[in-house]
Structures are given as structure tokens and as C-alpha cells.
């Protein structure tokens, strides 16, 4: 055993610990791109730079790998965001614009957005993980949006729209953008290409304007 060959044991150690993460990353990419069924575990392993056997060392099955990918990428960012919303100073219209922008930076533009595509695409085949996703992502997300809208109403900026459905006015554009980006948008031939910033700005503009009370209005419309 030559002394040179034993160099950098740290690197090896680090890689070893990084294995699951590398696998999850590779799996996320491929699941998002091709769907659950069309993704081969060999491919995931290959992209992560390990053998197929190694993958099963860390994840007992392809399904568990899928679940792990989803769980891993559903970080509970909502606590942080909730406090940001609480402390935000400025109009609620501005808050909405801000949230869209921040969401795009932290989620929409990242691989995490692929998870939404995955979930919506595969929900039917994975009821268990779908349930989990609802609890961890959808419901907190809806709560956050609801809080924003409530803030607008409370401050007399927004009309007293029915919140249960108004949340979807805010949510739909985000979900749509994520789906689009990972499906048709990925095959974009010019016409279908969407610039996220302009897209979100336009959506926020129309929505904020559409929710806004009017000068002279009581802020208590239908």
C-alpha cells in the first residue's frame, strides 16, 4: 500500500456520506424529467456515479426512493415565510409582488419546483405520499396565502372576497408556471416560452388590482 494511494481519505469519507444526497438529486432530476415509471434506477445510479446495487443499499425500493425524493424536497420553508409576511411593511399589493418574486427565487426557479410537477403527475399512483404532500405543502401554502389576503382585507386594501376560493387566484399562477416549465415549456418552440419575471409581475399586477378596493369603496364588496 503506497503512501500516495492513501491520500485524501477525507474526500472519500465525505463522498460516502454524500451518497444518499447525490442519489436523491439524480433521482429528482430524472423523475421530474421522465416521470416515475419511465425513470430507470440504473440511470439514477449512473447519474449519481454509483452502481445499481448501491442505490438499493440506501433506498429499499424505487417507490421509497420516490418518496424520499419528495420528502427531501419539501423543506418546511413556511415558518420562515410566515414570519416574513408578519413583519412585512408596505402595501399588501407590494407584499404579493414580493412573495411571487421570492417564491420564484427560492422555489419556482429551483429544482424544488419539479416536485410539484412530479406530485401532480403521479398523485394518483402514490396516494400515501400525496397525502403527505398535501399536509406538508399544500395546506401550509394555502394558509400562507390566506394570511396575506386576510392582511389585505384587514388593512382595507383588498375587497372582502371569499378566502376559500381567493387563495386559488394566488396559487393557480404559481402551480401553472411550475407545471408549464417542466412540461410543455421544456419543449418550448419560442411561442411557448415564458419569461417568469414578466409572467409573475403581470399576474401579481392583475390579481392585486383585481382584489383591490377602489377609491371611495368601502372595501367590503361581495
Indicate the burial class of 19 (C-beta count within 10 angstroms; 0-12, 13-18, 19 or more).
middle
Q: Is 67 helix (H, G, I), strand (E, B) or coil?
A: helix
Q: Which of 7, 21, 60, 139 lies at the binding interface for DNA (CB under 7 A)?
A: 60
C-alpha gyration radius of the chain: 22
Evaluate whether 77 touches 137 at the Cβ level (below 8 Å).
Answer: no
* Nearest to 133, CA basis, from 177, 74, 63: 74
Residue 203 sits in the site that holds a copy of itself (CB under 8 A): yes
Q: Which stretch binds DNA (CB under 7 A): 53-61, 72-80, 137-145, 194-202?
A: 53-61
* CB neighbourhood size of 213 (10 A): 18
Residue 171 sits in the site that holds a copy of itself (CB under 8 A): yes
Q: How far is the CB of 165 from DNA (least distance, A)?
A: 39
* Nearest to 194, CA basis, from 113, 121, 133, 123: 113
Q: How far is the CB of 210 from DNA (least distance, A)?
A: 46
Length of the chain: 222
Site for a copy of itself in 112-131 (CB under 8 A): 117, 119-125, 127, 130-131
Residue 91 sits in the site that holds a copy of itself (CB under 8 A): no
Q: How far is the CB of 109 from DNA (least distance, A)?
A: 29
Site for a copy of itself in 7-66 (CB under 8 A): 33-38
Residue 21 sits in the site that holds DNA (CB under 7 A): no
Of the chain, the end-to-end C-alpha distance in Å amounts to 80
The entry of a copy of itself, DNA, none that residue 123 binds, CB within 5 to 8 Å by partner kind? a copy of itself
Indicate the burial class of 73 (C-beta count within 10 angstroms; 0-12, 13-18, 19 or more).
buried
The entry of a copy of itself, DNA, none that residue 184 binds, CB within 5 to 8 Å by partner kind? a copy of itself
Residue 62 sits in the site that holds DNA (CB under 7 A): yes
Q: Which residues bind DNA (CB under 7 A)?
A: 10-13, 15-16, 19, 39-42, 50-54, 56-57, 60-63
Amino acid at each position: 500500500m503506497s503512501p500516495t494511494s492513501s491520500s485524501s481519505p477525507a474526500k472519500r469519507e465525505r463522498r460516502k456520506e454524500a451518497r444518499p444526497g447525490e442519489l436523491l438529486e439524480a433521482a429528482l432530476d430524472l423523475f421530474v424529467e421522465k416521470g416515475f415509471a419511465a425513470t430507470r434506477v440504473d440511470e439514477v445510479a449512473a447519474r449519481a456515479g454509483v452502481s445499481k446495487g448501491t442505490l438499493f443499499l440506501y433506498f429499499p425500493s424505487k417507490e421509497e426512493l420516490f418518496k424520499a425524493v419528495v420528502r427531501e424536497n419539501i423543506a418546511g420553508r413556511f415558518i420562515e415565510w410566515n414570519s416574513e409576511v408578519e413583519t412585512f411593511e408596505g402595501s399588501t399589493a407590494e407584499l404579493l409582488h414580493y412573495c411571487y418574486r421570492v417564491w420564484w427565487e427560492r422555489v419556482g426557479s429551483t429544482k424544488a419546483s419539479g416536485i410539484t410537477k412530479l406530485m401532480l403527475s403521479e398523485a394518483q399512483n402514490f396516494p400515501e405520499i400525496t397525502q403527505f404532500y398535501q399536509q406538508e405543502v399544500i395546506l401550509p401554502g394555502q394558509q400562507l396565502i390566506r394570511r396575506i389576503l386576510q392582511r389585505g382585507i384587514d388593512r382595507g386594501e383588498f375587497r372582502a372576497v371569499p378566502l376559500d376560493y381567493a387563495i386559488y387566484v394566488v396559487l393557480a399562477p404559481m402551480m401553472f408556471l411550475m407545471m408549464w416549465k417542466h412540461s410543455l415549456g421544456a419543449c418550448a418552440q419560442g411561442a411557448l416560452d415564458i419569461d417568469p419575471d414578466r409572467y409573475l409581475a403581470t399576474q401579481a399586477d392583475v390579481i392585486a388590482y383585481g382584489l383591490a378596493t377602489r377609491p371611495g369603496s368601502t372595501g367590503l364588496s361581495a
